[in-house]
Chain A
Amino acid sequence: MGSDRKELSRRHVAELEDIVGKRGVRTDPTARSAYESDAFMLQRATAEVIVLPRTTAEAAAAVKVLREAGLVVVPRGAGTGLSGGARPVENGAILGTARMRDVLEVNAEDRYARVQAGVVNVHLTAACAGAGLFYGPDPSSQTACTIGGNVGNNSGGPHGFKYGSTNRHVLGLTMVDSDGEVIELGGPGPTADGTLDLLGPVIGSEGMLGLVTEVTVQLLPRPEKVETLLCLFESLDACCDAVSEMIARRLEPSAIEILDRLTIEAVEASVLRAGYPDHAEAVMLVEVEGGDEEVDATSADVIEVARAFGAFDTRRTTDPAERKRLWAGRKGAFGAMGRIAPDLYVADVVAPRTRLREIVSAATVACRERDLKLANVFHAGDGNLHPNISYDRRDADEVRRVLEAGRIIMEACVRAGGSLTGEHGIGLEKQDEMCLVFSDDDLAAMDQLRGAFDPSAFWNPGKMLPVRGCREVHTRPLPVEPSTEPTDAQAPGGSR
């Protein structure tokens, strides 16, 4: 234990209990152990205290106490993050939004909602469904993840292909800064042109600029018609190429997802059985939304491309129950992989959409060479790949090989002009790899941005930015290399 260990005095605990109630302050080892990591299980730490306020005012008051106590704070939503961003800082505090679950306002006329940060993503859409509206971002963990957490990671989801990530949907935020001051940024109306867009850098800042307590989001009108398409392929490569061709043809479905054979098997063997055929090497799940005519025309085009690239079976459905079943399989895919091995490393990288096959292939080789089991399920339409590597964390050598493969996949993406993360964030997992993408000056500027919002490094210190200098980790930005694949699509006729 280091000599700078901060301990919470009984007085501070009592003050916190006065603010948030006894139920909102947890210092017992059992409770604290439940917060030792987020969904990135490879790194754990124990917080000194877990504080769960119910309102912005409580959060602001709690911050003042924690600050006086000399603790740093890690904001936390549901802890579904996959990069360690919500992992506690040893002997710091967790400030969680688990009890901030109120939908404060749904304004159907102006199409916005104001919610507390702890509202679960799917509950927001449920709350506005009666008004014929919905909330766009739909991460696969949407039945558990919170809107505040989505803001922290700028989360996307399958329908991000059409609707974009969280930053396109947030209109305003209420935040608490490191002095315990409450700040309002933006609001339901358009951004005034004479002000800086401070929402921009805050969204996706992984809890390092302050605690978001309330969020105002835009709502979208429900589409007239939604059709889900299932296209079955004998080859994962062909499936990837079909997606690249759909992008090249400028087709506009709302989601394009790919699941490979191992994922299909895991899903079909689980309670989430979606009816994906077990003889397919890859499944492409596509959703098309809009007016009747638009959906009919776009679905026909999608199927034409899929068939041109070798889809041996295609299905279309507008039946809500069947659509729900198909999507449950996709969204539950990570959970279903628990059948394969006790632990799952979910990589999250982005490739240019012209180079999907190349990166999937690099991931396959990296895992094969290290005797690792790889399953692919990803947001193909966005180029956001999730190579999932099954492992057992009790096997130290396997953990080493998993991390090595993860690094190789990241490097392949960066060399192809891609990036380290599309929606899960950098957190603890990819700090050193930031040096693959950014120069020392870029990283110093990012640190200065952080310091402008939080000069005392009170919020989530030691995350996202490399703790060691890039020279120390012997890494520097990688050059982008040209594609090793033919530039034209491989289908008959090529790209339009």
Chain B
Amino acid sequence: MAPRAVDLDAIHLACKEAGVAFDPEGGVGGGPVVQPTSETSLGVLIAALSSRSAKANVRLLPVGTGGQLSWCRPDQCMAPDGSLQLAMPALLGGSGASGVVEYVPGDGTLTALAGADVSVLRATVAEGGHRLTPALFGAATLGGVLAAGRSGLDQHSLGPTRHHLLGMRMIDGSGRHLRSGGRLVKNVTGFDLHRLHAGARGIFGPIVEASMRLMPEPEAEQYLMSGPCASAAEAVELALEVRGATKVREQALFVRDRATHVLLAGRSAQVDADRRRLERLLPGLVERDAGPGAENFHLAGAQQAGVRLSTVPSRVAGTVKTLETWLGDLASAVIVPGVAHVDLPTELLSEASSWPDRLDARLDPRAPLPLALRDPSDPSGLPERAQDRWRGRLIEAFDPAGLFQIEGFPARG
């Protein structure tokens, strides 16, 4: 792909007009970055760039920690070819700022700036006896997690992160400051623009602030792991047995290293009772460190995933069995049967040039490599459908200059 010719003067001019710092090499991966320190200046910058975008040929990419930049190819978002990173943490206003706008322990809600570090937010609400989903550790910002549509280990029991999103403030591609939803655990006032932004990778403009529903910190937690199975597929079968056992209320359930991993959480007496039931279901059950250890264990697998297969729970075991036949050992894969995700690490992909077409499962286009792989359900080449028209009109409405658009996203169909 040929680099786009960027009018750096136009960018400089817009930054000057908005009073925003521009650093041609200060972004993630050494890319060019703008660092607004106020929402007002960010709005002015977006409006200025939007009005100049055709001439400047610039695209603006909201970035938190940069941990999810794999959704666009490096030559599209890292190099100074037209993609300008927008450093959202800059809005926190300096080092040490938590980004917490409002934490109301009595209401179980948190409102924070998009650039806030998720681990800082989790630590803040833990002091009040709450948990923030997703259970992610490591570098991630709230806005980044929401824009990327990321969920954590707790998705098994709590559902995806977007289910806990209560409202948002955002700035659209014309520089308008917008609000949707609120800070309440229940609210159906108006259209849910915030739900549209969740998972939209910033193509409608940056998320500035988000409000989240919090979960109570459990009274007790136990992280348990079965003995190793002969294959990942066998461990998946065991995990599905746990899922089907209605008397066990697992918080998280996944397969890694050919073993079934279970996180129990809740009232102490209940967790103890559930453990006794699990001992009958899972041979060789051992206890591991609970809490961050369990979450990091999953995260380690998820972060190295090159590709994610999504199906339905009843087809996970069959899918994994097929993969083991083709690819051999799947010990390094992270499989979440209840959510029906199979995350495969990058090193397996070199051998995976043909199998996706034969699997009835969807590939996650978030995966950076290999670019040759395509979602088998991708309807490219099919006539335009209503969904495509809706998407097109949404982009036209909220990013008329195309300032925030990412090539290849969203997938059609």
Q: Which residues of A contact B (CB under 8 A)?
A: 107, 109-111, 132, 153-154, 156, 160, 164-165, 167-168, 177, 179, 181, 183, 185, 188-201, 203-205, 221-222, 224, 244, 247-248, 250-252, 290-294, 296-298, 350-354, 379, 382-384, 417-426, 434, 437-439, 441-443, 445-446, 448-453, 455, 464, 487, 489, 495-496
Contact = CB atoms under 8 A, between A and B. Distances in A.
B267 interface: yes
Contact of B189 (A160, A191, A420, A451): A420
Contact of B186 (A165, A247, A294, A455): A165
Contacts of B266: 290, 294
A425 B186 contact: no
B375 A248 contact: no
Contacts of A449: 191, 193, 196, 394, 397
B149 A197 contact: yes
13 contacts: A132-B246, A167-B192, A194-B365, A194-B410, A195-B199, A196-B394, A197-B195, A204-B191, A250-B108, A291-B247, A294-B270, A421-B188, A464-B190
Contact of A181 (B162, B195, B246, B385): B385
Contacts of A422: 184, 186-188
B397 A451 contact: yes
A448 B362 contact: no
Nearest to A487: B106
B361 to A, nearest CB: 8
B196 A197 contact: yes
Contact of A192 (B188, B268, B310): B310
A383 B409 CA distance: 38
B249 A201 contact: no
A354 B102 CA distance: 14
Given A252-B216, A439-B179, A423 B188 contact: yes
B163 interface: yes
**Interface bin, chain B:** 35 or more
A395 to B, nearest CB: 30
B184 A418 contact: yes
Nearest to B109: A352
A110 B186 contact: no
Q: Closest 3 interchain pairs by CB? A: A200-B195, A194-B365, A250-B216
Interface string B166-201: 000000100011111011111111111101101110
Contacts of B312: 110, 188-189
B314 A110 contact: yes
Given A197-B195, A222-B246, A293-B270, A190 B188 contact: no
Contacts of B313: 109-111
Contact of B397 (A248, A291, A297, A448): A448
Main secondary structure of the interface of A (DSSP, over half): loop
A179 B160 CA distance: 32
Contacts of A495: 105-106
Given A196-B410, A426-B190, A448-B397, A352 B184 contact: yes
B195 A291 contact: no
Contacts of B339: 190
Contacts of A167: 163, 192, 195
Contacts of B350: none
Nearest to A224: B247
A382 B187 CA distance: 9
B178 A445 contact: yes
B192 A196 contact: no
Given A193-B366, A442-B179, A434 B189 contact: yes
Nearest to B392: A452
B160 to A, nearest CB: 7
B341 interface: yes
Interface string B97-124: 0000000111111000000000000000
Nearest to B412: A195
B257 interface: no
A446 B129 contact: no
B261 interface: no
Contact of B270 (A297, A352, A453): A297
Contact of A194 (B129, B183, B217, B366): B366
B186 A160 contact: yes
B241 to A, nearest CB: 12
Given A189-B312, A294-B267, A453-B390, 18 more contacts: A188-B312, A189-B340, A190-B341, A191-B199, A198-B196, A291-B270, A294-B266, A297-B270, A354-B107, A382-B185, A382-B186, A418-B184, A422-B184, A434-B190, A445-B178, A445-B397, A449-B191, A464-B190
B178 A441 contact: yes
B396 to A, nearest CB: 8
B178 A291 contact: no
A389 B397 CA distance: 41
Given A193-B149, A198-B390, A297-B270, A168 B375 contact: no
Interface string B373-413: 00100000000011100110110111000000000011100
Query: Which residue among A194, A418, A455, A496 has the maximum number of chain B CB atoms within 10 Å of its CB?
Result: A194
A192 B179 contact: no
Contacts of A445: 172, 176, 178, 180, 193, 397-398
B251 to A, nearest CB: 13
Contact of A353 (B108, B274, B364): B108
B59 interface: no
Interface string B243-265: 00011010000000000000000
A248 B106 contact: yes
A183 B387 CA distance: 7
Query: Which residue among A189, A222, A434, A446 has the maximum number of chain B CB atoms within 10 Å of its CB?
Result: A189
Nearest to B108: A247
Nearest to B409: A194
A200 B177 contact: no
Contacts of A179: 386
A496 B160 CA distance: 29
A224 to B, nearest CB: 6
A386 B265 CA distance: 34
A204 B375 contact: no
Nearest to A187: B312
A224 B246 contact: yes
Contacts of A419: 182, 184, 187, 189
